[in-house]
Amino acid sequence: MAILAVLHMQPATTLMRKSGCPSKAAIQYILTRLAFFNLLIVALLGVLMRSLPLLSSFPLVYKNVLHGHSHFAFGGWVLPALMALVMKGFPELRQKIAFHHWRNIALLVLMSAYGMLVSFPLQGYKGISVSFSTLSIATSFYLALVIWKALKGIVLKTSHRLLKWGLIYCTLSAIGPFATVPLIVMGEQGTPLYFDLIYFYLHFQYNGFFTFTILALLYRWLEERNLDQNGGKVFAIFNLVCIPAYALSVLWHQPSAIFNFVGGAAALLQLAGLFYLLKDISSKKAQLNFLLKLSLSGFALKLIFQAASAFPLVASMAYEGRNFLIAYLHLVLLGFVSCFVFASVLREVENKKLMKKGTMLFLASFFTTEAVLIVQALSAVLNFRFLFYKEVLLFFSLFFVAGSLVMAFAVKGIDRKRRNYNSTLHKSFLLKERTAKSSGTMIQASIMPSV
């Protein structure tokens, strides 16, 4: 909790001076550093879970540790990392939203994440853990509301629309966990409806909030280079199919064939959206780095696998082979989302060599563990035995920890760049202000009211 207090330590006059930009940049920096520290914790929990089958006894229940791992991955890694990138990628929103909102949201995000980290492994789904989980959802509502309000009065581009709808889907996803409460009370936990509600939450987090936020950040970058010719089509297609694509998430219990048709049609339209996205990023001017290309490759694979899952045989295999599902979820969270974060942060760190070493270790673990999970799942389908599967999976998972640790040290270098950025930003702000006064006008961007 001492780390969280950093956001409260500086005097308000210092934090709010000079248009608030330096203090907000400090929050962005703190969120980035803590997100990578949290990624290390996520990796350690993953190693712990993969070592449990090899231990004769352990005081914690595996399922509860799994809940802590997954909740903390969302609330402790992805949410603060994406929030920091949004603050950096959308400076007009960072400036327009008051400092106290950013501070409060950051505190609530971190408090709820660390609360879930401790409470879920110790007690599972009980009062304290559910309270922290509810706080995390409420915080996402808070973030959505202040950004929606800040978007008013701004000429919306594709990036703004993607960000806005990503937050809408984040809010919509909350229906899933809230709707499971009466089912648990009635003893219906474990029924198809219960799991459909869990998948409802996962669908609108993975395919809504995560995907749309990353596409928003990508298109903000493309817009700055005038490479967003097909942005409107990309937004329209992915927004059109996000809700019907949920049909793919319920195919595991073989509902009516109409679900296969609706889900399949949505998946095919997603591939059309991917086509237009690739047209925009294929320009030589885009100059995508390796990590960004890898992230977008993960995104493309995700869409292809979603289209394949519309076929009953593939849907049945994914349900019966649990490791197929785990490999898919890791593809999205690690291959698509995390690689995008790594690519974005790599531009900011001072010690790029150290950051690259960390990402290479992390990616080595990602590729090898994905291969192990898929081979093990295929072993059940093809009826062969995977010797020492648990030991091999545990060994390759250790590189997640090593890579996360190296990257956690590497992101320290953002601090110096942040200070240089703040100095340059303030000088630019003063110059614009003087220019505006001398011409008898006021630059709108320098007087945006805080929401």
Place of tokens 């709707």: 179
Tens digit of pLDDT at every position of the chain (451 positions): 444 444 444 443 333 444 444 488 899 999 999 999 999 999 999 999 999 988 888 888 999 999 999 999 999 999 999 999 999 999 999 999 999 999 999 999 999 999 999 999 999 888 899 999 999 999 999 999 999 999 998 899 999 999 999 999 999 999 998 888 888 778 778 788 898 999 999 999 999 999 999 999 999 999 999 998 999 999 999 999 999 999 999 988 888 889 999 999 999 999 999 999 999 998 777 788 899 999 999 999 999 999 999 988 888 887 778 899 899 999 999 999 999 999 999 988 888 999 999 999 999 999 999 999 999 999 888 888 888 999 999 999 999 999 999 999 999 877 555 555 444 444 444 454 455 444 444 333 332 333 4
Identify the CA nearest to 49 among candidates 318, 252, 317, 330.
Answer: 330
Domain boundary residue among 100, 127, 154? 154
What pLDDT does 187 receive? Answer: 78
Report the pLDDT value the prediction gives residue 9, as an integer from 0 to 100. Answer: 42
Could you give the dihedral angle defined by the CA atoms of residues 245, 247, 252 and 256, in that order, rounded to the nearest 10 degrees? Answer: -150
Give residues with Cβ within 8 angstroms of 150, minimum separation 6. 93, 96, 97, 451
pLDDT given at position 419: 53
Residue 74 belongs to some domain of the structure:
yes
If one counts every other C-beta atom within 10 angstroms of the C-beta of residue 257, the result is 9
Question: Rounded to the nearest 10 degrees, what angle do helices 352-382 and 312-320 cross at?
Answer: 100
Domain boundary among 100, 135, 154: 154
In DSSP notation, 291-331 reads: HHHHHHHHHHHHHHHHHHTTSHHHHHHHHH-HHHHHHHHHI
Q: Running DSSP on this structure, what letter comes out for residue 126?
A: S
- Which residues form the domain of 367? 349-415
Structural domain contains residue 78:
yes
Look at residue 25 in the predicted model and tell me its pLDDT.
Answer: 87
Joined together, the tokens standing for residue 12 give 């308000």
Closest C-alpha to 299, from 279, 328, 321:
328
- Give the CATH number, domain containing residue 82: 1.20.120
Which has the closest alpha carbon to 82: 20, 170, 157?
170
pLDDT (0 to 100) of residue 415: 58
Closest CA to 323 of 266, 393, 254, 231: 393
Residue 106 covered by a domain: yes
Structural domain includes residue 279: no
Q: Which residue, 223, 214, 212, 217, is CA-closest to 88?
A: 217
* Residue 57: inside a domain: yes
* Residue 336 forms part of a structural domain: no
pLDDT of the residue at 88: 94
User: Does some domain include residue 7?
Assistant: no
End of a domain among 139, 154, 169? 154
Is 377 part of any domain?
yes
pLDDT of residue 445: 35
Cα(109)–Cα(343) distance, integer angstroms: 23
Number of domain units in the chain? 2
